């Protein structure tokens, strides 16, 4: 059964209801404390650096091998 156009809530009413729902949901979120935030940030930075170093070394190794193989072909 279709809802008549006049029975639908107005745009502003729907927006207000949506914002109220978001505010209620944000109050239920468990936010990390300062210490947790520092630990998580350090972990992310550490892992990012480790991955960057690994990719750099892998790229350098592949570049060296490819250079060696290309020199053999001359």
> Which pLDDT value is given to residue 35?
97
Domain ranges of the chain: 33-74
Q: What distance in Å separates the CA atoms of residue 50 and residue 44, rounded to the nearest whole number?
A: 10
Q: What distance in Å separates the CA atoms of residue 50 and residue 68, rounded to the nearest whole number?
A: 27
The CA-to-CA distance between both ends of the chain, in Å, stands at 78
Residue found under tokens 């960057």 = 52
pLDDT tens figures, 37-64 = 999 999 999 999 999 999 999 999 999 9
pLDDT tens figures, 4-13 = 666 777 899 9
HSE, CB side, 13 Å, CA atoms: give it for residue 26.
Answer: 6
Q: For residue 74, what pLDDT band results from cuts at 50, 70 and 90?
A: confident
Determine if the pTM surpasses 0.85: no
């Amino acid at each position: 059964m279709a809802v008549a156009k006049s029975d639908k809530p107005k745009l502003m009413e729907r927006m207000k209801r949506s914002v109220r729902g978001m505010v209620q949901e944000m109050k239920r979120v468990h936010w990390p404390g300062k210490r947790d935030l520092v630990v998580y940030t350090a972990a992310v930075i550490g892992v990012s650096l480790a991955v960057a170093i690994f990719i750099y070394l892998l790229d350098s190794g592949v570049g060296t091998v490819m250079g060696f193989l290309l020199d053999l072909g001359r």
